[in-house]
Amino acid sequence: MPDYLKFSEKLNVKFNDISLLKRACTHRSYLNENKSAGLEHNERLEFLGDAVLELVVTSFLFRKYPGKNEGDLTSYRSALVNTHSLSKVALHIGVDEYILLSKGESRDTGRARSIIHADTIEAIIGSVYLDQGYDAAANFISEQLLEVIDIDDIVENKTWLDAKSRFQEKAQEMTGLTPSYKTVKETGPDHSKIFTLGVFIGDTQVALGSGMSKQEAEQKAAEKALEVKGW
């Protein structure tokens, strides 16, 4: 069993009830394989932490950018609290060492792993809030998220836009053309299809992307296209 007192020290949070941190790191899948463990999974804490995180980040952005409108602030907030950003925070603080997962889930990689990371960070925020209140949770978010994710870089480089929007903006700027997406192939059974789409500028295919939906495949194609073009 991981040492959660050591983890709390790493997080710079002195818990009154260390079992809250342990629960925050307990994935539902672990309990499915360890029914006699006497633990609770982290989904309720995740629900609470998500709300606390949104309020703290909203307040931070409201004060930092007094001249920005609601739409811009909403986009910046989404960039700060999305799966990618929270997973980056999870890796920064070494969450993998402390998450309790089933054997199957522990082998997950890519986006599936990122989702587990993000959910765990939200659950940890919920545990800090329950244990010590709003100010402690806000301080944790400031130290572990707002100092790790560079919001100024996000705003300056427009990385708050999704990949498809960024590629369209750059393509129109550089070529005067709007990218198009075409399905190249579909594989797998109907209940678990993998779509591969190409992104084109004019008649030229720039990159391919695959995903469980056409929307996901388009985003992956746009991400690769941005790399290919150096945009």
Nearest alpha-carbon partner for 13 in 164, 119, 140: 140
HSE toward the beta carbon, residue 106, CA cutoff 13 A: 12
Nearest alpha-carbon partner for 128 in 140, 143, 116, 142: 140
Nearest alpha-carbon partner for 21 in 134, 125, 145, 137: 125
50 is catalytic: yes
Q: Which of 46, 105, 122, 131 is catalytic?
A: 122
Q: Which of 50, 105, 131, 218 is catalytic?
A: 50
Residue 53 identity: L
Residue 59 identity: S
How far is it, in rounded angstroms, from Cα 44 to Cα 208? 38
105 is catalytic: no
Are 193 and 186 contacting, i.e. CB atoms less than 8 angstroms apart? yes
Is 211 strand, coil or helix?
A: strand
Residues marked as catalytic: 50, 122
